[in-house]
Amino acid sequence: MADEKKIIIDEDWKSRVESEKEELQRATEAKASPEAASDSKAQPAGSAVMPPASFSTHLSMLATEAAIAMGQLAHPNSGQQEKNLEQAKYLIDTIGMLEEKTRGNLTEAESAGLADLLHQLRMLFISVQAQS
- Mean pLDDT per 10-residue run, the chain (132 residues)? 54 65 70 50 68 90 95 89 95 97 94 95 96 86
Helix ranges (H only) for 3-107 are 12-31, 34-38, 55-69, 85-102
| pLDDT score at 40 | 44
| pLDDT score at 132 | 81
Q: Is 30 left (phi over 0), alpha (psi -120 to 50) or beta?
A: alpha
Contact 61, 91 (CB under 8 A): no
Q: DSSP letter at 50?
A: P
Contact 31, 49 (CB under 8 A): yes
CA angle 54-59-62, nearest 5°? 130
| pLDDT score at 111 | 94
How far is Cα of residue 41 from the mean position of the Cα atoms in its chain? 29
| pLDDT score at 49 | 84
Give me the amino acid identity at 101: K
Calculated CA dihedral for residues 25, 31, 37, 41, nearest 10 degrees = -120
On whether the pTM is more than 0.85, the answer is: no
